[in-house]
Amino acid sequence: MFEIEKKVIEEAQQGKPTLLTTEIPAGAKRLYLESYGCQMNFSDSEIVASIMRENGYYTTHNLYESDVIMLNTCAIRENAEQKVRKRLTEFRKLKKSKPSLIVGVLGCMAERLKEKFLEEEKLVDIVVGPDAYRSLPELVGEVQGGQKAMNVLLSLEETYADISPVRLGGNGITAFISIMRGCDNMCSFCVVPFTRGRERSRNPETILQEAKELLASGYKEVTLLGQNVDSYLWYGGGAKKEFKNLTEEEKSTAVNFAQLLEMVAEVDKDLRIRYTTSNPRDMTNEVLEVMAKYENICKYIHLPIQSGNSAVLERMNRGYNRKEYLDRIAAIKRIMPDCAISTDIICGFCGETDEEHEDTKSLMWQVEFDYAYMFNYSERPKTLAERKYTDDIPEALKTKRLEEVIAIQRKLSLESNKKDVGKTFKVLVEGTSKRNENELFGRNSQNKVIVFPKENFKKGDYAMVKVHDCNSATLLGNAIVE
C-alpha cells in the first residue's frame, strides 16, 4: 500500500486528521482545514477548498493565524467521532482568545448529529452536510452577522461535477477523482446512506475533463472514487435507476462503470488508473475484461468481504453469500491472474459465533488476500444493525478475534510478497523513502510499495525495478538502468 495513503487511512481509522494546506498570497483570508476518514472525505475537502478559495479563503497549516476552522468529519467509527469532539473542545479554548474565529463541522458527522452540535454541545458555529458545500460562503457570512448556521440537506443530484478541486496535501503525482456520491446498499452496519444520501453518478465528460487537466498538470495516476463504483451508471443525471428501467433514449447514451473505466484509460496510455471501492454483488466480468485489456489500468481490486460466513453476511445485509463472493474471486483470478486483491473484515459483528468467525479465517486462507483492513465491529446510531440486533460480542472477544485475523493476514501478505522476489515491475516513483533519503518508493500495478536506490530517478518517473527482498509490507529492489 502506498505509504502516504496507508498512513492517512490508518490515522483516520484511529480518529487522526489529515491537514490540508496550499500556498497563501499576502493578505488572503485563512482557512484551517482538517480531514478525517476515507478517501472520499479527502476528495470532498479539496472541493471545499475550491469553493472557499473562490471567496478569498486559502488553506493554512497554521491554526493560530486562521480566520475559519473546518473539520471534515467521519462517522463510520465511534473513535473518530470522539477525537473530533476533543478537537472541537480545543478550538473552543482558542475562540476565547480570538472571538472572531469561526469553527465549522463538515461531512458525515455533521449530517448525523445536525443541530446537536449547535444547540446541545455548542462547540461550533457552522454545521454542513456533504451535499451542501456550495452554501459554505453564505453560511460563513451568516456567522459573521452574529448567527449560527446549518445546512444538512441531502440531494438527489449534487455531484460537484463543475467544481475543479484544489489539490491539497498530495504528492503532485497521484490524485483522486470522485465519480459518484452516496450509497443505496443499506448494509446494516453502515451509516453512509444516512450521511451521504442516495446514490447518483457524475457526468462522464466532466470526469474525463478532470483526468485530462490532472495529466496536463503533471499527475501520473488517478483513483476513481465512489462508495460503490461498480454501480456507476450515467444516463443524464437525477436519482439512480437500474439500467432495465431506463427509457430507450437513456439506454442509448448510458455509460456504465466498465465503459467509464475504458474511457479514462484511453485519455493517455501513461496515465495510470485505479479505483475504489467495489461491491462483490455488483462487480461484472465486463469490468474485469476492461482491466485486463489496458496496461495502464492497475491490476489491483479492493473487494470487501466483511465476513466469511453467509449467515453473518445476511445479517449485515451485504447482498451476497460466501459462495458468490468466492465466485467473484475466481473470476478475477481467471481473467487477471496477476491481479492483487485486498479486502475489509469486521470482527465481532452482532451474534457472531466462534464457528462463524472460523469461517472468516478459512476464507482468508482460501483467497490469500494480498492485504486487508481489519476492524472490530463498532455499532453506529440509526443503522439497521442498531435497530434490529444486539451488539452482544464482548470487546475482549472482538479484540481476540481481530488479533487472529491480523496474524493470518500478516502471514498471507508476507507470502504474497515472497512470490514477487525475483520479478521485475514497472514502478511509478512517488517520493523519497522516509527511512533513507538515498532511496525512492513507489507502487507497482498491484498497489504494492517498492523501495529502491535512487540512481538517477525522480518523483513522477517510471522505473523498472527488480525485487530482491521483502517483508510483509514492502518489496525491496533495484532499478534496472539501461
| Environment class of 145 (CB within 10 Å of its CB; exposed 0-12, middle 13-18, buried 19+) | exposed
- CA-closest candidate to residue 204, choices 281, 264, 146, 119: 264
pLDDT at residue 281 above 90?
yes
CATH class of this structure's domain 3-151? alpha beta
Q: How confident is the model at residue 75 (pLDDT cuts 50, 70, 90)?
A: confident
57 versus 27: the higher-pLDDT residue is 57
What is the C-alpha end-to-end distance of the chain, expressed in Å? 28
Residue 423's pLDDT is 98
CATH topology of domain 424-479: OB fold (Dihydrolipoamide Acetyltransferase, E2P) (2.40.50)
Residue 21 phi, psi dihedral angles, 5° rounding = -140, 160
**278 grid coordinates:** 467495489
Question: Using only C-alpha atoms, what is the Rg of the chain?
Answer: 22
H-helix segments, 145-199: 192-196
Residue 68's pLDDT is 96
Q: How confident is the model at residue 80 (pLDDT cuts 50, 70, 90)?
A: confident
H-helix segments, 24-167: 39-53, 78-97, 107-113, 116, 136-144
Q: Residues 13-40: pLDDT tens digits? A: 344 555 555 567 777 899 999 998 888 8
Q: pTM score, two decimals?
A: 0.89
**Quick one: how far is CA 374 from the chain centroid?**
15
**Quick one: how far is CA 354 from the chain centroid?**
31
- For all residues of the chain together, what is the average pLDDT? 91
Upper half-sphere CA count for residue 356 (Cβ side, 13 Å): 21
d(CA 306, CA 344): 5
d(CA 199, CA 183): 5
CATH class of this structure's domain 171-298? alpha beta
Q: How far is CA 259 from CA 255, 266, 365, 449, in A?
A: 6, 11, 33, 29
Q: How confident is the model at residue 251 (pLDDT cuts 50, 70, 90)?
A: confident
Q: Residues 195-208: pLDDT tens digits? A: 999 999 999 999 99
d(CA 371, CA 54): 41
Domain ranges of the chain: 3-151, 171-298, 424-479
Of 1-5, 408-412, 462-466, the range with the lowest mean pLDDT is 1-5
pLDDT at residue 92 above 80?
yes
